[in-house]
A and B are shown apart, each in its own frame.
Chain A
Amino acid sequence: MLGGLFRKRDDHLEFEEIAMPHMDALYGAALRMTRDPSRAEDLVQETLLRSYRFWHKFEKGTNIKAWLFRIQTNIFINKYRKRQTEQAVIDDREIDDLLGRYAAEENTFIPPDTRDDFFKKVLSDDVMRALDDLPFEFRMTVLLADMHDFSYKEIADVLDCPVGTVMSRLHRARKLLQARLFDYAVERGVIDAPEGVTSENVADLDAFRRRRKVANGGEE
């Protein structure tokens, strides 16, 4: 039992050299998980402490970043997520409805003539807000793929789900992000909403839910 107490100096140096350089990446993800800088710092600290404790279980030569992210994700799910109120959590059916109506493959809802202008005018805060609005699993999938360059297999390992689920979530998450960004750009008046596609009917979940509620006779 006490064997774990005796750490070789090599282990210590190895951890510093291999794991610690990923602190920024862990923090970037933690910030998007918790949406709170103080909690993100706590989460990264816990991740590194736990990683150090179980350093002997890390298989050398495998992907250290994926290993660290898996630990951080588990801590978040087991601890932090229980204590915070998830905002704007939408279920798969709602996402399918939204995408089916407004984000079909051939309808990217950003008109070709405004697309370049749109991408130039997107703000970082809008990207973060749109990302934060995604359900946790979708947010993490797009984060791991587009911010951290994880492969589908690595994302599947971190989030403990099949590769097919990763592909599906990633596709839908990107579409939803694009819809949200378009929505914000229209709200801010930086681009015009094309005819038939407005900020209300693209990705306003509250409006969408209100319409569903009316359609369902007042039932959620």
Chain B
Amino acid sequence: MGRVTCDDFRKFIDAYLDDEFDARDRADFDAHVALCGCCRRRVEDHLSFRRCIRSHMQQKRDMPADARARIQARMRTVSRPDRAARWLSRVAAPLPAVAAVGAVALFYIPMTGFAPVVDDAVGQHCERVPIEVPTPEAREVDEWFRDKLPFELAAPRFDDEQVMLLGGRLSKVGGGDSGMRSRRAAYLLYGVGPHKLTVLVFDGKDLEIEDDSAIREVNGRRLSIHHDHHGYNVAVYRKGALTYAYTSDLPETDLLRLVANAH
């Protein structure tokens, strides 16, 4: 950088003190500050301020012991290396029986490690975005989505008279490494008495499956249930190539019963 002026020093004092310079530039700045009382005072002022805020910020950084224990316990349950193998053996057991039937109409795989999808399902459940096809007729909804999605949608039907389809809209859902919403999805809205039920339907066959949730078997179907930190439950299952994420503030048992009986 050559000879350093006071103007240079003012402009680059942050980078100088943040140790962003190479050795040569740093030496030039060191030489300047050694000779210039005004800039030396600037350095002292900056350093006093930084020491002050740094010391206070450091005091506040440690995690409470109980929070640490909870997270460590959670991580132990997730990352035990042999757990995946045990899980796979549970899933694999019914496979021969299913294959023997010959006509596999529905094959449910418990979805685990689904955090980005769960995030999106709850996030979209909480959003107040208008629906684009407001109708209680599932066939009309299916028809509206035709050619708008890279898959054929059949909106879930329920025999429970309390459940009423209210409509749907196009959406996107995250998943994968980036966690960004990039895959096209159908967002379906239902009323269940005073409760709201939303369903995201998308092609999620490429998503990595890992252990992050509880597995429930209801009505012969294996589902995974995710408890959002804000009180919502998300039940996920896969039907063929499609993934369905049901989100509601309904109690877990009620939500699972609905999902397990959807057709």
Contacts and interface: CB of A to CB of B under 8 A. Distances in A.
B52 interface: yes
B97 interface: no
Contacts of A116: 48
Interface stretch (B14-22, B140-148, B190-198): B14-22
Interface residues of A, number: 63
Interface string B62-87: 11100110111011001111001101
A122 B52 contact: yes
Interface string B23-54: 00000000000000000000001001111111
B61 interface: yes
A53 B67 CA distance: 21
Nearest to B58: A147
A75 B50 CA distance: 29
A4 interface: yes
A5 interface: yes
Contact of A45 (B74, B84, B88, B119): B74
A142 to B, nearest CB: 8
A23 B57 contact: no
A105 to B, nearest CB: 5
B113 interface: yes
B183 interface: no
B67 A41 contact: yes
B25 to A, nearest CB: 14
B59 interface: yes
A97 interface: no
Given A1-B208, A28-B61, A49 B78 contact: yes
A2 B75 contact: no
Interface stretch (A170-178, A186-194, A195-203): A170-178
B10 interface: yes
Contact of A53 (B56, B59, B208): B208
Contacts of B57: 28, 127-128, 131, 143, 146-147
A25 interface: yes
Contacts of A50: 115-116, 179
B56 A124 contact: yes
Interface residues of B, number: 58
B242 interface: no
Contacts of A8: 81
Interface string A19-32: 01001110110010
Interface in B188-222: 205-206, 208-212
B212 A49 contact: yes
Contacts of A171: 14
B63 A24 contact: yes
Contacts of B178: 74
A165 to B, nearest CB: 13
13 contacts: A2-B209, A4-B208, A5-B209, A6-B84, A23-B63, A28-B63, A49-B115, A83-B126, A119-B51, A152-B18, A174-B14, A174-B49, A174-B50
Interface of B: 10, 14-15, 18-20, 45, 48-54, 56-64, 67-68, 70-72, 74-75, 78-81, 84-85, 87-88, 113, 115-116, 119, 123, 126, 174, 177-180, 205-206, 208-212, 229-230
Given A6-B84, A48-B75, 14 more contacts: A1-B206, A4-B208, A5-B209, A16-B79, A27-B62, A27-B63, A41-B67, A45-B74, A52-B75, A52-B79, A79-B119, A83-B123, A119-B49, A181-B53
